[in-house]
Structure 1
């Protein structure tokens, strides 16, 4: 490979011509950050260990992994290469599950951090949906998560007061 080949490859990589147009990529990444941030904001307001920034980063990373997968699938590697795009989703879920498990603490007979761990896992799913451009799923999951975490926590507190 000579210097002209290297320059041609670099110019192709930097011209922004991928599997998806850059405005679509930017929208998907920003959407993942925004929607995951909504979930993280709820955790931040409740002063939980994984808040706004953590959830936004998880959503961003998940979206990036999906966009990378779409890019790889669109490239022609010849018949020698076999790819399974589902492995990206498996890798995101197992990686975030590890993060989420770190949020869960058993102390003095109580489990703490379970909802925060679950919300991190959900932020990853929202990021995956946004990265793949499945906006209805991403937005609906975010809205339902906020409903579950905010309104149902009030209901739980009222039920606990009734038990006392």
Structure 2
């Protein structure tokens, strides 16, 4: 059985590891920051210690007690917190990294609760490197790309939108599935594309190229 002193040590270690990742999230203005990560990891650690102690304490009542049952509920239950950290902003989805860090740090808390300090510290180090170092490379080499929404209104002909797709692909990359709306009275279709453009390509030439396609009635930049 884990002693109260060992539980206290594990909770302190968990709080420190949660604070390291939580501080990075707080510094970048994420919705789940320092306090959330500390409370989450400490809670997961406490759950794991309880999960280990209960079968030992009540072994006469539950000889087949499974220490992993409570821990499994932490992993599945953290999905609610993760979902709350994710939100959509225009063509982009924000909060995925924070949701992932919450889920992973919950597991780190379980690992600390089980007494595997080295594994927990190593995992936290990798997570922190991913958040800080890789964020630098993303901003330097990936975030230079811009995403725009282009709304195309055209005659209801497949060939028109095939040409629209080919024109966009020459200039950039279509992200996700285009949104389509059909007007049965006017026999026109409206399609919204989310397009990623490199920093060397301006959106104006793309708009002009789309406007020259036969059958195009309106091209609008959102």
TM-score range, shorter chain: 0.7 to 0.9
Greater relative contact order (Cα < 8 A, sep 6+): 1
Q: CA RMSD in A?
A: 1.5
The equivalent position to 1:72 in structure 2, one of 45, 54, 74, is 54
Give 1:153's aligned residue: 135
Q: What aligned pairs does 1:9-24 form with structure 2 within 5 A after superposition?
A: 19-24=1-6
The equivalent position to 2:14 in structure 1, one of 32, 43, 47, is 32
Give 1:88's aligned residue: 70
- 8 Å Cα contact 2:83-2:99 kept in structure 1: yes
- Classify 1:147/1:80 alpha carbon distance in 2 versus 1 (closer, same or farther; 3 Å): closer
Number of equivalent positions: 146
1:107 positional shift: 2.4
- Of stretches 125-134 and 153-162 in structure 1, the one that deviates more from structure 2 is 153-162
The equivalent position to 1:41 in structure 2, one of 13, 23, 35, is 23
Q: What aligned pairs does 1:132-151 form with structure 2 within 5 A after superposition?
A: 132-151=114-133
The equivalent position to 2:90 in structure 1, one of 97, 105, 108, is 108
Q: Which has the higher strand share?
A: 2
Give 1:14's aligned residue: none
Alignment gaps of 5+ in structure 2: 146-197, 200-222
Equivalent-residue separation in structure 2 for 1:35 and 1:100 (angstroms): 19
**Alpha-carbon displacement from aligned partner over 1:97-136 (angstroms, at most 9, x marks no partner):** 2111111112211100000101111110111111111111
- 8 Å Cα contact 2:44-2:106 kept in structure 1: yes
Q: Which has the higher helix share?
A: 1
1:41 positional shift: 0.5
